[in-house]
């Protein structure tokens, strides 16, 4: 019995709500028992009115209260008691249902914040996330690193092996990114095969350490899971947030530096040096 609270805590708020609703159902059964008891009392009281000689000695109690008056008092008290108990249970049930609806709405909101394919944060959550992280970094005078990531040769995977294989590759890359950052950092699917890392309280040196780790892990994965002659890699663009810079400016800088990474001579996936179109 002592382990039940801990078990409910592990199961989460939905389980606790369900437990409370079960208690309410049990209390409702208790109310019906009380109603049956009250009905029995009322029946006895009615019989005492119809045939007082069978229930009362000399038609009065020891306190000299007439049975008719006592019956009326009992009836009023019983009805009021049942009304108050029933009203309290209904109010509690409504409150719990409201909380349950709030949790359901919160669950839907949480689902919209996570990309279902890669299981990382979705772009719809990015603006709110960055504004909060930027405000915290500037308030505490702490560094904030942003790393834009783009999977090299990803279009070839889709063209040759289909979108299902492309989805598999994206999920694998997302898993690598999550494994290369801390629990306090964020991985966001920015769009298509691009991801944005938000590295809280991380200076340039720490951000580059993360980038090197990602390159190594992606290279290792590609060697072990080579898709024909398609060599997968990753281009990375690092930007350290500057005080007064907006979230859009910071992301734009990281995006530009990631694209510049593809222009480096010798990059296996270098593309023509022309302006990059705005991200859709």
**What amino acid positions are annotated as catalytic residues?**
193
Q: CB neighbours (10 Å) of residue 150? A: 21
Closest of 3, 266, 277, 247 to residue 125, by C-alpha = 247
- Whether the CB-CB separation of 112 and 124 falls below 8 Å is answered with yes
Task: Round to whole Å and give the CA distance between 210 and 25.
Answer: 54
Cα-to-chain-centroid distance, residue 248: 25
Whole-number Å distance between alpha carbons of 242 and 68 = 86
CA distances (Å), origin 185, targets 19, 25, 132, 236, 268: 35, 44, 13, 16, 29
**Nearest-angstrom CA–CA distance, 74 and 37:** 12
Say how far apart CA 151 and CA 134 lie, in whole Å: 26
* Dihedral pair phi/psi, residue 43, rounded to 5°: -65, -45
- Distance (Å, rounded) from C-alpha 35 to C-alpha 27? 12
Write the burial class of residue 33 (CB in 10 Å: 0-12 exposed, 13-18 middle, 19+ buried): exposed
Closest by Cα among 230, 259, 157 to 222: 230
Determine the Cα–Cα distance for residues 215 and 237; give it in Å rounded to an integer.
Answer: 12
Reading across the β-sheet that carries 186-191, which strands appear in turn? 186-191, 194-200, 144-152, 233-240
């Amino acid at each position: 019995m002592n382990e039940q609270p801990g078990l409910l805590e592990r199961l989460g708020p939905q389980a606790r709500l369900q437990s409370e609703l079960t208690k309410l159902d049990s209390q409702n059964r208790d109310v019906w028992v009380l109603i049956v008891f009250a009905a029995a009392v009322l029946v006895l009281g009615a019989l005492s009115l119809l045939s007082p000689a069978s229930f009362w000695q000399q038609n009065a109690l020891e306190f000299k209260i007439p049975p008719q008056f006592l019956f009326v008092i009992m009836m009023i008290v019983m009805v009021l008691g049942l009304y108050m108990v029933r009203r309290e249970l209904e109010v509690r049930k409504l409150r719990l249902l409201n909380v349950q609806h709030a949790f359901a709405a919160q669950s839907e909101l949480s689902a919209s914040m996570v990309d279902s394919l890669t299981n990382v944060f979705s772009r719809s959550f990015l603006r709110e996330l960055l504004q909060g992280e930027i405000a915290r970094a500037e308030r505490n005078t702490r560094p904030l690193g942003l790393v834009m990531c783009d999977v090299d040769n990803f279009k070839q995977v889709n063209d040759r092996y289909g979108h299902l294989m492309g989805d598999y590759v994206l999920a694998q890359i997302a898993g690598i990114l999550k494994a290369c950052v801390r629990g306090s950092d964020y991985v966001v699917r920015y769009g298509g095969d691009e991801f944005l890392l938000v590295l809280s309280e991380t200076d340039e040196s720490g951000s580059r350490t993360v980038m090197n780790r990602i390159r190594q892990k992606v290279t290792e994965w590609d060697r072990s899971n080579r898709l024909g002659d398609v060599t997968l890699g990753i281009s990375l663009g690092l930007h350290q947030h500057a005080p007064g810079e907006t979230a859009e400016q910071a992301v734009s800088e990281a995006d530009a530096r990631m694209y510049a990474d593809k222009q480096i001579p010798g990059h296996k996936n270098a593309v023509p040096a022309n302006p990059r179109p705005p991200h859709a």
